Chains A and B, each alone.
Chain A
Amino acid sequence: EIVLTQSPATLSLSPGERATLSCGASQSVSSSYLAWYQQKPGLAPRLLIYDASSRATGIPDRFSGSGSGTDFTLTISRLEPEDFAVYYCQQYGSSGTFGQGTRLEIK
């Protein structure tokens, strides 16, 4: 089973700053089948990025994904107040394991 490790566990930043979230895999993720989700309290997760770098429909272009193999990154170029949430990566090349999440909080 592929294990995903996200870092940092918590990221404290201010609106307008750039956020960089990492997701490392214990083995190579086939065909870059890696997604990123955003989750706010009490709500279901929302798909942001799929296939490592493709934005889902309606996702602002300040969100971008990159990476391949075992190292992936979600970047939010300029944080808006509504971006403060928990972010999860998920690989779907071999079953569907999630990372443990990164909490993005307002500094």
Chain B
Amino acid sequence: QVQLVQSGAEVKKPGASVKVSCKASGYTFTSYGISWVRQAPGQGLEWMGWISAYNGYTNYAQKLQGRVTMTTDTSTSTAYMELRSLRSDDTAVYYCARDGLGVFGFYWGQGTLVTVSS
């Protein structure tokens, strides 16, 4: 069965960077893309961007351009999302999600809480 297992919670200081991982299993990793979605406490979902696990093509949300980098490691079937210059309003649960039938959010990881606090 398809599983996306994310790395554990992180606490970072303002200005630092965070890198969240998403290890995939149960399918051919390079056949699908991975999206990243975040959710601030008590707020809605925000799409951050998408990466093709086939060729590394990325499509980032305009708001995060220049601060976010999404990568994949096909040898370990793992996707990564790095966010730089962290601010307090980056505090959120970060989810990875795999495509299916053209939809970004067919399967979801369990989420990773990133807290930005001085």
Tell me the A residues contacting B by CB distance below 8 Å. 1, 33, 35, 37, 39, 44-47, 50-51, 54, 56, 88, 90, 92, 95-101
A47-B62 CB under 8 A given contacts A88-B45, A98-B44, A100-B44? no
Contact string against A for B residues 60-90, beta-carbon threshold 8 Å, 1 for contact and 0 otherwise:
0110000000000000000000000000000
Residues of B within 8 A of A (CB): 35, 37, 44-47, 50, 59, 61-62, 95, 97, 100-106, 108-111
B92 to chain A, nearest CB (A): 13
Given A33-B102, A50-B103, A92-B102; A44-B108 close (CB under 8 Å): yes
**Residues of A contacting B106 with CB < 8 Å?**
47, 56
Determine how close the nearest CB of chain A comes to the CB of B9; give it in whole angstroms: 14
Could you tell me the distance between the alpha carbons of A90 and B50 in the complex, rounded to whole angstroms? 14
